[in-house]
A and B are shown apart, each in its own frame.
Chain A
Amino acid sequence: MASYLVVCMAVLWSAVVAGDKSDPRAIGMARTINGPARGLAALGVNPANLGMNGHRLIGISLLSIGFRVSSELMSYDTYHEFFTGADGPNGVREPRFLDEADKAKLLSGFSDGTAVSTMDFEVMPVGLAAYHPEVGGFAIAVKERVGLRTVVPKELLTMLLYGLDPEGSSFTFDRTRISGWWFRELNLSYGRPVPVSLPAEAELYAGLGIKFLAGYGVMETLHYVASVANEPTGGNQYRGRLSFDYRIRRAGVEVLDPDKGGGLDLFPAPAGTGFGVDFGLAGKVYGVDLHVSITDIGSIRWKRNTVETYSRYQIDITDPFLGTIEDSLQYAVRGRNRSAGEFATALPTKLRIGLVVESGSRLLPSWFPSGILIAVDFTQGLNDSMGNPDNPRVSVGVEYSGIPVLPIRTGLSIGDDSRLRWAAGVGLELTKISFGIATESIPLLFDPGNFDLYSISAGFQFRF
Chain B
Amino acid sequence: MNLRLLAALLAIVALLSLKCVDLPPSPVLPTWVTQGSIPLVDRTFTVADFRQKDPSLTVQADGGLVYSSTQTFDPAGIDTILIEPIPITRQQTLGPFAVDVPPIPPVVFTYENLTGVSPPSGSFSFPPAVLTVPERSIGPLSSFEYIEFESGTISLTIRNTLPFQLYFPDSLKIQNDDPAAAVVAAFRVQDTVRANGGIQTAAASLAGKTVLNAFRVLQTTATTPGGTGEIDAGEGLEFEIAITNAVVRAARSTIPPQSVPSQTRTFVLDDSVTIFSARFRQGSLRVDIQNGINVSADVLVRFKEMKVKSSGAEVAVMHHFDGTGSSTTQVDMSDLEFTAQVDSTGTQATFEIELALTGNSALTELRSTDQIQVSLSPGTPMMIERVDGRIPPTTLELATGASGLTLGEVADKFEGEVSFDSIEIAIQVQSSSGFPADYSAYFVGIDRRSIPAKTDSIFIPPPQGALLRRLFPAAGPTSIVLDNTVGLNTFLAKFFPHLPDTFIIRGTMTLNPSDLYAAPEGRQVVYDTSKIYSSVDVTFPVRMGIMNATVRDTIPLRVREKFPRDLAKSTRTATLNFSIDNGIPLALEFRSALLGPGPGGPRDTLLVIPTNGTRTIQAGIVDAAGAVVAPVVSNFAIELTGPEAELFERGESILVRLDVESAGGGAVVKVRDTDAVRVRASGTLVYQVNKP
Contacts and interface: CB of A to CB of B under 8 A. Distances in A.
Interface of A: 1-8, 11, 76, 79-80, 82-85, 88, 93-98, 102-103, 160-166, 168, 230, 232, 235-240, 317-322, 369, 371, 400, 402-403, 406, 408, 424, 426, 445-449
Given A76-B24, A79-B24, A236-B637, A321 B32 contact: no
Interface in B27-65: 27-32, 34-43
B14 A445 contact: yes
Interface in B54-113: none
B563 to A, nearest CB: 14
A318 B680 contact: yes
B518 interface: no
Contacts of B42: 237, 318-319
A102 to B, nearest CB: 8
Contacts of A319: 39-43
A97 B8 contact: no
B578 to A, nearest CB: 9
Given A96-B31, A403-B11, A408-B7, A84 B25 contact: yes
B642 to A, nearest CB: 15
Contacts of B690: 95
B129 to A, nearest CB: 148
A369 B1 CA distance: 12
A421 B11 CA distance: 20
B17 interface: yes
Interface residues of B, number: 47
Contact of B28 (A76, A96, A238): A96
B28 A84 contact: yes
Contacts of B22: 3-5, 80, 448
A383 to B, nearest CB: 35
A164 B683 CA distance: 11
B201 to A, nearest CB: 126
B26 interface: yes
Given A8-B20, A321-B40, A403 B8 contact: yes
Contacts of A406: 7-8, 11
A378 to B, nearest CB: 27
A97 B30 contact: yes
B35 A165 contact: yes
B45 to A, nearest CB: 12
Contacts of B26: 84, 93
Contacts of B19: 7, 445-448
Contacts of A84: 24-28
B381 to A, nearest CB: 65
Contacts, number: 166
B621 to A, nearest CB: 19
Q: Which 5 A-B pairs have the closest CB atoms?
A: A85-B28, A318-B42, A236-B577, A402-B4, A163-B34
Given A93-B28, A95-B31, A426-B11, A164 B38 contact: yes
Contacts of B282: none
A94 to B, nearest CB: 5
B38 A80 contact: no
A93 B25 contact: yes
B14 A424 contact: yes
A161 to B, nearest CB: 6
Contacts of A448: 19-22
Given A160-B34, A164-B35, A321-B41, A5 B17 contact: no
B625 interface: no
8 contacts: A5-B21, A230-B38, A236-B579, A318-B680, A319-B42, A445-B14, A447-B19, A448-B20
Interface in B643-683: 680-682
B452 interface: no
B32 A103 contact: yes
B684 interface: yes
B4 A98 contact: no
B317 to A, nearest CB: 78
Given A408-B7, A426-B11, A448-B20, A95 B41 contact: no
A103 B29 CA distance: 14
B466 interface: no
A103 B689 CA distance: 13
B10 interface: yes
A232 B31 CA distance: 28
A318 B680 CA distance: 8
Given A95-B692, A400-B7, A403-B11, A8 B21 contact: no
A237 B579 contact: yes
Nearest to A410: B10
A278 B398 CA distance: 104
B453 interface: no
B18 interface: yes
A88 to B, nearest CB: 8
Nearest to A451: B21
A230 B682 CA distance: 11
B8 A96 contact: no
B380 interface: no
A235 B680 contact: yes
A4 B20 contact: yes
Contacts of A238: 37-39, 682
Nearest to B680: A237
A319 B40 CA distance: 5
B36 to A, nearest CB: 5
Contacts of B519: none
Nearest to B691: A95
B624 interface: no
B215 to A, nearest CB: 122
Contact of A235 (B15, B20, B579): B579
A71 to B, nearest CB: 14
A161 B35 contact: no
Contacts of B4: 371, 402-403
A168 B37 CA distance: 8
Contacts of B29: 83, 95
B7 A237 contact: no
Contacts of B577: 235-237
B475 interface: no
B468 to A, nearest CB: 59
B195 to A, nearest CB: 141
A406 B8 CA distance: 8
B35 A240 contact: no
B155 interface: no
Contacts of A400: 3, 7
B451 interface: no
Contact of A7 (B21, B30, B32, B689): B21
B635 interface: yes
B158 to A, nearest CB: 131
Contacts of A165: 35, 37
A83 B37 contact: no
A402 B9 CA distance: 12
Contacts of B36: 163-164, 230
B23 interface: yes
B412 to A, nearest CB: 26
A7 B22 CA distance: 10
Given A5-B20, A445-B18, A98 B32 contact: yes
Nearest to A236: B577
Nearest to B25: A84
Contacts of B32: 97-98, 102-103, 161
A321 B689 CA distance: 22
Contact of B3 (A11, A163, A402, A449): A402
Contact of B635 (A7, A160, A235, A424): A235
Interface centre among B7, B690, B692 (most CB of A within 10 A): B7
Contacts of B692: 88, 94-95
Nearest to A159: B34
Contacts of B25: 80, 84-85, 93
Interface in B103-152: none
Contact of B40 (A11, A85, A320): A320
Given A84-B28, A85-B30, 6 more contacts: A2-B23, A235-B680, A237-B579, A402-B4, A403-B7, A408-B10
